[in-house]
Amino acid sequence: MILVTGGAGFIGSNFVLDWLARSDEAVVNLDALTYAGNRENLASLEGDARHVFVQGDICDRALVDRLLAEHRPRAVVHFAAESHVDRSIHGPGAFMRTNVEGTFTLLEAARGYWGGLPATEKDAFRFLHVSTDEVYGSLGPIDPAFTESHPYEPNSPYSASKAASDHLVRAWHHTYGLPVLTTNCSNNYGPYHFPEKLIPLMIVNALAGKPLPVYGDGQQVRDWLYVKDHCAAIREVLARGRLGETYNVGGWNERPNLEIVRQVCALLDEMKPDPAGPYARLITHVADRPGHDRRYAIDARKLERELGWRPAETFETGIRKTVRWYLDHQDWVARVQSGAYRAWVDQNYAGRAAA
């Protein structure tokens, strides 16, 4: 049995689905079902006794203590987080609560649980914390990619909250001996991605004939990681990672945002042509967001060297699968685009005049 937090979100639900497709080891899935958590992502597990879903808050210490005592997991895999930079700019409080206070609560609950385990179970226990490359700050055009020893230089409320959680995890290992592992991943994409992030937003807006908003000049560079490759990396780190270590997880796919948008448009032109013309006609440059980091790049050689992991997908294969998934699951997209989602899009993009 493992305990997964945030297992109804984008990366978490992909991990839970992948885990149970490959293993009979049960999962207790704790998720607060905020706007980005969606039970529908897990519909294929309905009635599966290996999946125990619990709606709840990681800041609820009594609930976390109860789940640990009742289910006795051999590991905690911690995905639960507020994760959207734009939302953190508009409302940083939720990010401090979930990402900092929530991680602290989980660490303390795990420490109490782990401390009471028999010796063999105690030795086998792991706490795996899933984090982001954004904690490292921004790179110049020719700077070497982020390694695990790169200094932390977070530039947004979101990345600052994740940096804080990373530091807590490290401190609980060095001070209390809690057997922790940390992964710092680059930009994920793939199925079940909530359509506020770049790739799904572009797909959804293009199909609706809406503008495709690109911040600034669109030359912000990110490394792109297909979500199922990320899940495979987490499995490897959980199984064989060295205690207390951090592992960067990247896709070896550095691309500027504008190139990503143009590639999505080209795939949609191929798979679902618009009689009105090429989707790229909808690209609209808008005012950049405050403090927008210019470039991220992940050096994932440590993970390859120590654990033999490399991504299975190229960007070309992964983005094709992603666009195809959204075309085949437009009912899912329609259901997650609630009134609250539309209000958020209006709030974030209102007043960003075309550049």
Between CA 238 and CA 125 the distance in angstroms is 10
In angstroms, rounded to a whole number, what is the distance separating the alpha carbons of residues 36 and 139? 29
| Rounded Cα gap, residues 127 and 294, in angstroms | 32
Q: Would you name the residues annotated as active-site residues?
A: 133-134, 158
Angstrom distance (rounded) from CA 127 to CA 114? 10
Query: CB within 8 A of 52, min separation 6: which ones?
Result: 26, 27, 28, 29, 71
What one-character DSSP code corresponds to residue 230? H
Q: Are 214 and 282 in contact, with CB atoms under 8 Å apart? A: no
Is there a contact between 54 and 42 (Cβ–Cβ < 8 Å)?
Answer: no
- Going 239 to 242 to 244 to 245, the CA torsion angle's sign is negative
Phi/psi-derived region of residue 190, left when phi > 0, alpha when psi is between -120 and 50, beta in every other case: left
Q: Residue 181 corresponds to which tokens in the numbers above?
A: 């592992």
